[in-house]
Amino acid sequence: MRVARRIAIGLVAVGVAGGGVYAIPRLLENGTAATAEQRLQAKPNGSGKATAPDGRPFTLVATGDIIPYPSIIQRAADDAAGTGTAYDFRKILAGVKPIVSAADLAICHHEIPYAKPGGPYTGYPAFKAPHQLADALKDAGYDSCSTASNHTLDDGFDGLSRTLDHLDRVGLEHVGSARGAEEARAPALLSAGGARVAQLDYTYGTNGIPLPAGKPWSVNLIDQSRIIADARAARAAGAHVVVLSVHWGTEWQTAPDQQQKDLAQALTASRGADGLPDIDLIIGTHNHVPQPYEKINGTWVVYGMGDQIASFYEAEKARGNMSSIPRFTFAPAAAHPGRWEVVKAEYLTQYSDMGPPFRVVCASCTDEYARVDKEVTSAVTSRGATAQGLTRATR
C-alpha cells in the first residue's frame, strides 16, 4: 500500500513503502540545481554509496503514451463543467487510478508538451495540450513521467520548459528532457522499500525538429554508450535500482524491430565492475500498440506498452486504444547486498473506451474488455514471456 505523500516548493515528496515520507530536493539551499549525486546523498543514510538498508519488496507499475488528441481535450473540457477549472482529466484516468495509486512507484510516459494557458490546443502532427493534465496525473498517483519522445519539441523549447514547470508544480518527477545542462545529466530519483531508484529516459528522435540552438541537452537521444554511462553514473551515485524508459521502435508494429532487439540485447548484457547488470528494467514506448515482454540476459524488457490515452476511431487503428500495464515487484537481492531484483513480473490490460464518454479503463467488466484482453495478452506473451515467469494480474 502506498503511503501518503507531501508536496513542497522546491521539493519532490516520495512515498517509501512501509517506512514514512521524506523529500528529495531539486534545489540546494543556495537555490542552484542539485546534481544527481547530491540528491541521492540527501537520502536518510546520507551516503552516496549503495549500502544495504533494511529493504522491503516494492511494486513498480508503468503505463503507455499519453497523447491527448483534440477529442480527448474536448472530453476534459466537458468533464470540467462545474469544477472551477477549464479542463479536468481526472475522470478520464479514474478507471486506472486504483492500480496506479496502489503501486509503490508509478511511471507515466508524457508524450506531448503543454501549450500556453488558453491554447491553442492542437493534435497531430504537432501536439499541444492543457497543463491541467499534470494535475490529473498527480491525482492518479503517478510519481514520475518520462518526457523524451518524438513530440517533445512540438511547441519548441518553450513548450518543453512549460511542461516541466507544470510537472514540478504538482510534484511529479520527470526525466528525458531538460531546461538546463545540469538537469539533463540527472535521472529522476525515486524511493521505495528502502531502495533508491534512478529512472533514465531517451528517444530515437524528435520528428526531424532540430534540437534548439545552443541547447543540445534539451532532449535525451538514444545513444548506447551514453545510456550505459548514465546508468553507471547513477549506480555510482547511490542508486540501488536503475530503470530505463526508452522511446523506440516502429509505429503500429507489434513485433520489436531490429533496433529494439539489438539495443535491448546490448543494454541488458552490460555489466559493471561487480559483474552485475547496469540496468535492472527496460520499459518501452512509442509504438501505439502493445508489444511483447521478454527477459533478456536475466533482465525484463517491455518493448512497448501501447498508448494509455489516445483516441483512434478508424477501424484499422483500433489496436491503438489497447495497452498493457507492467507491474514488477522488486526485493533485496540476498546474494548482492545493496541491490534489488525483480521477484515477480505481471501485466494488466488497459484500453481507451471511446464511449461516450471517453475513459481509460482497466479490468473493466464490459463485454469489450474480454476481446481487448485477448489481443493484449497475445502481443505481450508473443516472445515467450509466460515461460519466463510473466503472469497476468487481474487487479
How far apart CA 313 and CA 286 sit, in angstroms, is: 19
Give, as one character, the DSSP assignment of residue 317. G
State pLDDT tens for residues 370-388: 899 999 999 999 999 999 9
The CATH number, out of the four listed (3.40.50.720, 3.60.21.10, 3.40.640.10, 1.20.144.10), of the domain defined by the range 49-392: 3.60.21.10
Quick: pLDDT tens for 14-26: 333 333 223 345 5
Cell numbers describing residue 375: 489481443
Among the residue ranges 14-23, 237-246, 254-263, 351-360, the one predicted with the least confidence is 14-23
- pLDDT given for residue 355 in this prediction: 87
- Tens-place pLDDT, residues 70-109: 999 999 999 999 999 999 999 999 999 999 999 999 999 9
Res 4: pLDDT: 30
The C-alpha torsion from 12 through 16 and 20 to 25, rounded to 10°, is -20
pLDDT at 366: 63
**Which pLDDT belongs to residue 33?**
55
Which grid coordinates are listed for 86? 477549464
The answer to whether residue 61 scores a pLDDT higher than 50 is: yes
Q: According to the model, what pLDDT value does residue 29 have? A: 44
Residues present in the chain in total:
395
Number of Cβ within a 10 Å radius of residue 205: 15
Residue 306 has pLDDT above 60, yes or no: yes
What Å distances lie between residue 173 and 26, 169, 193, 260, 283, CA to CA?
Answer: 10, 10, 18, 26, 17
DSSP code per residue over 10-44:
TEEEEE-TTS-EEEEESB-TTSPBPPHHHHHHTST
For 355, residues 6+ apart whose C-beta sits below 8 A from its C-beta are: 75
Please give the backbone phi and psi of residue 268, each rounded to the nearest 5 degrees, phi first. -75, -20
- Between 317 and 145, whose confidence is greater? 145
Alpha-carbon gap, residue 186 to 176, rounded angstroms: 9
